[in-house]
């Protein structure tokens, strides 16, 4: 944190993650969590494996009137909890929201037109977020299904790894399109089983985020998969990426949940065997697709 804080405060540059983008001069970086006391919008953007730890440290400093918003795209393994559910369990009296969509940071920093979803049961939170975060190049759309929006943001990382492997194996566009589409079917089937609205997955936080993350070389999960497809081990690929790839953890958690609930997810099952079971790809993307069900589209098990 200190290595990022100093250049941000002295030069308005995040030299580690966005070195070519000049940050607003009014932006101040701090490593003192008590500084959030005066904040009315608190966005949690930390990796899912440290989310609860950071929240625990932050709770005593949170303004009673603050809106709490999660931008973390992951799942807590213990209890299969999404980040907004952790916020609900650990805090009281706050409006809670989720922000998610096809949002590559580098493109946002270049003011390229981007859409995202602010999902919450609170219309007040949604309206205030639109006022604060909207711009000519960054548009917010509302959704009443925070659980589905958050699931979409977490699940698509699994299929981004699969598409990356396909690219690493020099598979064609047909193959990538097949993985995305079959992946969307798996995501929707899983989400419906968990109580989410299937229509959510037709929006920006579902198919929109899936397409962007699966197709873009800027996606960390796609990049990780591509390195695996080219023959690197998981450890070697992670070391080369050098940043958090939520898809690996999400894959494990979702595979366990799908097995427990009896949900058919062939790509998840095959990818789990490759990543955690150390099965060989044998130079074929067929290993990733696994044994698929014959139906094209359905939401049942």
Token couple for 49: 């494996």
Residue 28, C-beta contacts closer than 8 angstroms, at least 6 positions apart = 8, 9
20: enclosing H helix or E strand: strand 18-22
End-to-end CA distance of the chain: 44
Among 66, 55, 57, 56, residue whose Cα is nearest residue 93: 66
Q: Which of 52, 156, 249, 257 is catalytic?
A: 156
Is-catalytic flag, 156? yes
What is the largest distance, in Å, between two alpha-carbon atoms of the chain?
58
Please work out, in degrees rounded to the nearest 5, the angle formed at the alpha carbon of residue 10 by the alpha carbons of 6 and 12: 100
**3-state class of 240 per DSSP?**
helix
Among 210, 190, 218, 202, residue whose Cα is nearest residue 299: 190
**3-state class of 69 per DSSP?**
strand
The dihedral built from the CA positions of residue 11, 244, 198 and 208, taken in this order, carries a sign that is: positive
H helix intervals, 96-145: 105-109, 123-133
DSSP of 214-255: HH-TT-HHHHHHHHHHTT--HHHHHHHH-S--HHHHHHHHHH
What are the phi and psi torsion angles at 30 (to 5°)?
A: -145, 150
Separation between Cα atoms, residue 149 and residue 72, nearest integer Å: 12
Q: Are 225 and 161 in contact (CB under 8 A)?
A: yes
Catalytic residue positions, numbered: 156
């Amino acid at each position: 944190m200190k290595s990022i804080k100093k250049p941000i405060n002295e030069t308005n540059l995040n030299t580690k993650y966005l070195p070519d983008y000049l940050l607003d001069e009014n932006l101040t970086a701090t490593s003192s969590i008590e500084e959030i006391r005066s904040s009315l919008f608190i966005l949690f953007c930390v990796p899912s494996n440290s989310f609860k730890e950071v929240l625990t440290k932050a709770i005593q400093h949170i303004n009673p009137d603050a809106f709490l918003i999660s931008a973390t795209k992951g799942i807590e393994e213990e209890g299969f909890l999404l980040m907004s559910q952790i916020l609900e369990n650990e805090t009281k009296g706050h409006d809670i929201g989720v922000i998610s969509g096809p949002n590559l940071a580098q493109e946002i920093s270049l003011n390229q037109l981007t859409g995202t979803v602010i999902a919450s049961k609170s219309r007040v939170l949604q309206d205030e977020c639109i006022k604060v975060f909207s711009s000519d190049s960054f548009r917010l759309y509302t959704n009443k299904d925070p659980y589905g929006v958050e699931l979409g943001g977490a699940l698509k990382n699994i299929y981004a790894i699969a598409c990356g492997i396909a690219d690493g194996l020099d598979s064609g566009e047909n193959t990538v399109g097949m993985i995305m589409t079959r992946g969307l079917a798996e995501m929707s089937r899983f989400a419906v089983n968990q109580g989410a609205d299937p229509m959510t997955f037709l929006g920006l936080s579902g198919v929109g985020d899936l397409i962007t993350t699966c197709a873009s070389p800027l996606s960390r999960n796609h990049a990780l998969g591509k390195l695996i497809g080219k023959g690197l081990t998981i450890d070697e690929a992670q070391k080369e990426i050098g940043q958090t790839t939520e898809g690996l953890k999400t894959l494990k958690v979702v595979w366990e949940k799908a097995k427990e609930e009896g949900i058919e997810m062939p790509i998840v099952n095959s990818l789990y065997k490759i990543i955690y079971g150390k099965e060989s790809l044998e130079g074929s993307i067929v290993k990733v697709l696994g044994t698929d069900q014959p139906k094209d589209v359905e939401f049942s098990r």
